[in-house]
């Protein structure tokens, strides 16, 4: 019995220590490496049209939490009847430039067999490809194709680099251009993978205008 009492007293003293030991202790911030805060789309003319390059960005300061709404600049003002190469860069601005984790493009490139960019657009913007792209959506039936200019290690499309030829008139104004990056981890990326499979890394939409130079 005495032993038991002693045990209890020791326990209670222990509990007291726990109480007084709680003097703390601001939480340490976490690195948030999975986040993409900025997507940069660069359209560069690859024919001899000498059309200027067009750069648009979608910025989401917090990436995940959406405290700050996504701000997509643009519109994407392309010149009619020009073939552009679209190159996509992804960044995590919660890191400083140069820090590991800042340039997410590198990661996507390294894990290319786990990633796939899908594109959706209003028909009548491009002469090649035609249709609506390959995103499955009610408003953009995926009846189109995308000209992928790169591939992953397994020879499947990736989409960091794609080619686009604009229509040859003025009708392509106020249209929509949407990019989805899918990440295939739980499900494998296969030839049949669609924009409905995998996890979404980015999903951004821009207004696109195609005009003839006046």
Binding of another protein by 204 (CB under 8 A):
yes
Name which of 200 and 212 has its Cβ closer to another protein.
Answer: 200
The pairing of strands 76-79 and 199-211 is parallel
Which of 180, 189, 206, 208 is close enough to bind another protein by CB under 8 A? 180
Binding of another protein by 171 (CB under 8 A):
no
Per rule CB under 8 A, count of chain residues that contact another protein: 62
Give the shortest CB-42-to-another protein separation in angstroms. 17
Binding of another protein by 125 (CB under 8 A):
no
Give the shortest CB-170-to-another protein separation in angstroms. 22
Report DSSP letters for the chain, one per residue: -HHHHHHHHHHHHHHHHHHHTT---PPPPPP-TT---EEEEEEEE-STT-PPPEEEEEE-TTTTS-SS--EE---EEEETT-EEEEEEEEE-TTS-TTSTTTBHHHHHHHTGGGEEEEEEE-TTSEEES-TTBS---SSS------EE--B-TTS-B--SEEEEEE-SSS---SEEEEEEEEE-SSS---TT--TTSSEEEEEEEEEEEEE---
Among 158, 114, 117, 113, which Cα is nearest to 134's?
117
- Among positions 137-166, residues that touch another protein (CB under 8 A) are 137-139
Binding of another protein by 55 (CB under 8 A):
no
CA distances to 30, 92, 141, 214 from 36, in Å: 15, 5, 27, 38
Which of 44, 49, 62, 103 is close enough to bind another protein by CB under 8 A? 62
Name which of 47 and 185 has its Cβ closer to another protein.
Answer: 185
Give the shortest CB-165-to-another protein separation in angstroms. 24
Name which of 53 and 64 has its Cβ closer to another protein.
Answer: 64
| Only segment of 79-87, 149-157, 163-171, 174-182 that touches another protein (CB under 8 A) | 174-182
Binding site for another protein (CB under 8 A): 1, 5, 8-9, 11-13, 15-16, 18-20, 22, 25-34, 36-39, 58-70, 94, 107, 111, 137-139, 176, 178, 180, 183, 185-187, 196-197, 199-205
């Amino acid at each position: 019995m005495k032993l038991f009492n002693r045990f209890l007293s020791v326990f209670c003293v222990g509990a007291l220590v726990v109480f007084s030991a709680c003097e703390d202790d601001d939480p340490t911030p976490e690195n948030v490496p999975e986040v993409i805060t900025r997507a940069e789309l660069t359209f560069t003319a690859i024919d001899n049209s000498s059309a200027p390059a067009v750069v648009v960005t979608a910025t989401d300061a917090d990436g995940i939490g959406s405290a700050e709404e996504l701000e997509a600049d643009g519109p994407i003002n392309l010149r009619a009847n020009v073939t552009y190469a679209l190159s996509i860069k992804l960044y995590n601005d919660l890191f400083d430039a140069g820090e590991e984790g800042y340039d997410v493009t590198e990661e996507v490139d390294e894990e290319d067999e786990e990633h796939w960019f899908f594109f959706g657009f209003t028909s009548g913007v491009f002469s090649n490809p035609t249709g609506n792209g390959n995103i499955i959506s009610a408003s953009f039936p995926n009846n189109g194709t995308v000209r992928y200019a790169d591939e992953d290690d397994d020879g499947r499309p990736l989409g960091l680099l794609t080619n686009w030829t604009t229509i040859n008139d003025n009708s392509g104004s106020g249209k929509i251009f949407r990019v989805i990056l899918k990440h295939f981890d739980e499900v494998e990326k296969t030839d049949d993978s669609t924009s409905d499979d995998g996890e979404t890394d980015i999903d951004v939409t821009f207004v696109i205008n195609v005009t003839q130079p006046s």
